[in-house]
Amino acid sequence: MFSRPVRIITILTDLLVVNLAFVTAYYVRYDLQWLQPAVFRHPYQDYLWQQLLFNICIIIAFYQAKVWVRQRGEFWVDELSRIISAAATGTMLMVAYIFIDLPIPFSRLFWFWVPLFTVFWMGMARLARRVVLQILYQRGRLVDKVLIIGAGETGRSVMQTLLARPDLGFKAIGFLAAPSAAEQVGSERIPNLGTWDQLPTVLTENPDLHTVFIALPAHEHRQTMHLIRTCREFGLEAQVAPDLFQLRFSRVESNNMGGIPMLSVHEVQISRTAELVKRLLDLGLVLVAAVPSLLIGLVIALAIKLTSPGPIFYAGVRVGKEGRLFQMIKFRSMVVDAENQKIALEQMNEASGPIFKIRDDPRLTRVGRLIRRLSLDELPQLFNVLRGDMSLVGPRPPLPEEVAQYQDWHKQRLAVLGGLTGLWQVSGRSDLTFDEQCLLDIYYIENWSLSLDIRIMFQTIPYALFGRGAY
């Protein structure tokens, strides 16, 4: 559900939009006379009683269709389909009454335009609401605080969804792990608050908590029921993420074998058809960007050559899809002996996990610092995309020594081609912890779509221009 103020504003806005649609329909039918000339015309005030009655019909229809009930994560198209259904129902109720009563002559085309403009204006209003809420959620406003119980496969799935989907309006205050959990996720955004036996303490210390997500393994069924009862004692809603033998539902297909339900399990990966579409998109965009990239690259190459000794390009070994090694090309942004200096700078590492990052790395050259800030050092990787080593969008290819330190669940990010940009690059970039980056990469793989790739590419532009989280 939305918070009370947002819900009230939504209802009032919807009613305002419904009346705007009625006025628009009258103007289009009787003033503009679209589709067919009007034989007669009554003044607008003669339609006021119909407008009032239509409002009542729409309120009933919207209530029945649960238009004002929030469904988190619902796509705009799905929300629009419920509005279309409700508008059609409200219009049929209204038309049925008019045919029975027939107080004044009316145009059937008028009642064609009314639901049409109702759907149009409400669709635009809901789209605007999504944009406004997205901005507010990203700034930490109007979000509902939640707690996650469980740090295994299912718990990580919940975490990666919350990190990747700020539009859900949730903010996790942290997670509680099993007392015997050997593998735990470390995150600044979703910190470890202890073990699940500390749930009463956490609930007491966080009276403004909205929801508790319980994501425990199937064999912890009894513990799950105990945790649900504890949440109810505190007046909190508890939602259980089902653990299907530690499988995500995106990996499972159901079928019927002679009346017996069967499940087919698949590895987390992008289908071959999707890979082909993704590859065609990569090649098309690289070819379009070839000329401007070449011109920008020539300027950068000249600047590197004139300001610091050494080669223009840097080629380093990276781990690609399914563990294959390849040479990733970048513009050189550091001094020539940067690798030799790395050991001496280990204590300055600001990144978590196996990755090495320093915000003000002393090894950066003057030009290197600028192109790193704008992500222009990665421009030569378009050649890696042409060769098929990388994609435009995907997890960042890691170093072999980083992969050697991976936990088993981290390795899921190697199921697809690495990319120039990805979901975590538009969700905080280097400001995220390593575990958060992996969670977002896995979410990307499990929820890949062409529209997701396009959205990430568009969101990358402002992040690159303003250099947020890039170092």
How far is Cα 241 from Cα 153, in angstroms, rounded to an integer?
Answer: 11
Which CATH number is 224's domain given? 3.40.50.20
For 242-260, the pLDDT digits (tens) are 765 444 545 555 555 445 5
Q: Considering only 13-22, 93-102, 326-335, which range has the smallest mean pLDDT?
A: 93-102
Residues 112 and 45 in one domain: yes
Q: Are residues 324 and 429 in the same domain?
A: yes
SS3 (DSSP) at 117: helix
- Alpha carbon 10 to its chain centroid, in Å, reads 23
Q: To 5 degrees, how large is the angle CA 325–CA 326–CA 329?
A: 145
Q: What is the pLDDT of residues 133-174, one digit of tens each?
A: 888 888 888 888 999 998 777 788 888 888 888 888 888 999
pLDDT band for position 282 (cuts 50, 70, 90): very high
286 vs 406: CA distance, rounded Å: 32
Q: Note whether 457 and 331 are same-domain residues.
A: yes
**What length is written for the chain?**
471
The set of long-range contacts for 57-66, using a CB threshold of 8 Å and a minimum separation of 24, is 57/89, 57/90, 57/91, 57/93, 57/94, 58/15, 58/18, 58/86, 58/87, 58/90, 58/118, 59/15, 60/90, 60/93, 61/86, 61/87, 61/89, 61/90, 61/93, 62/14, 62/86, 62/90, 64/89, 65/89
CA distance 176 to 144: 18
Sequence-ordered list of residues with C-beta below 8 angstroms from that of 391, at least 6 positions apart, any chain: 278, 279, 282, 385, 416, 417, 418, 419, 420
Among 123, 138, 153, the domain-final residue is: 138
Q: Is 112 found in the same domain as 220? A: no
Predicted confidence (pLDDT) per residue in 7-16, tens digit: 888 889 999 9
Establish if 250 belongs to a structural domain.
no
Asked, for residue 254, whether it belongs to a domain, the answer is no
Q: What is the pLDDT of residue 315?
A: 93
Within this chain, do residues 320 and 213 fall inside the same structural domain, yes or no?
A: no
Q: What angle do CA 205, 207, 208 make, to 5 degrees?
A: 125
Phi, psi angle pair for 106, to nearest 5°: -140, 160
> 332 with 183, same domain?
no
Residue appearing with tokens 């004002």? 68
Q: Distance (Å, rounded) from C-alpha 213 to C-alpha 72? A: 14
**Strand order across the 192-195 sheet:** 192-195, 170-177, 144-149, 211-214, 237-240
Would 267 be classed as within a structural domain? Answer: no
Which residue, 240, 256, 291, sits at the end of a domain?
A: 240
Same domain, 153 and 71: no
Position 412 in a domain:
yes
No. of helices (H) and no. of strands (E), the chain: 14, 11
Q: Is position 258 within any domain? A: no
**248 is a domain residue:** no
Tell me whether residue 259 is in a domain. Answer: no
pLDDT of residue 245: 43
Assess whether 81 and 228 both reside in one domain: no
Same-domain status, 50 and 175: no
Minimum mean pLDDT among 126-140, 213-227, 306-320, 391-405: which range? 213-227
Q: Global pTM?
A: 0.67
Type of residue numbered 351: A
Amino acid at 165: R
More confidently predicted of 460 and 466: 460
Token pair in block for residue 320: 């690609």
For position 254, what pLDDT does the model report?
A: 59
Amino acid identity at 200: P
Q: Are residues 230 and 130 in the same domain?
A: no
Q: Which two tokens stand for residue 80?
A: 């629009």
In a domain, 328, yes or no: yes
| Domain region containing 212 | 144-240
* C-beta neighbour count of 389 within 10 angstroms: 21
Q: Which of 194, 222, 240 is the last residue of a domain?
A: 240
The answer to whether the beta carbons of residues 365 and 300 sit under 8 Å apart is no
Question: pLDDT tens for residues 287-325?
Answer: 999 999 999 999 999 999 999 999 999 999 999 998 999
Same domain, 399 and 292: yes
Please say whether the beta carbons of 360 and 250 come within 8 A.
Answer: no
- Same domain for 435 and 303? yes
pLDDT attached to residue 259: 52
- Averaged pLDDT, 334-358: 80
Mean predicted confidence (pLDDT) in 407-429: 85
**Count of domains forming the chain:** 3
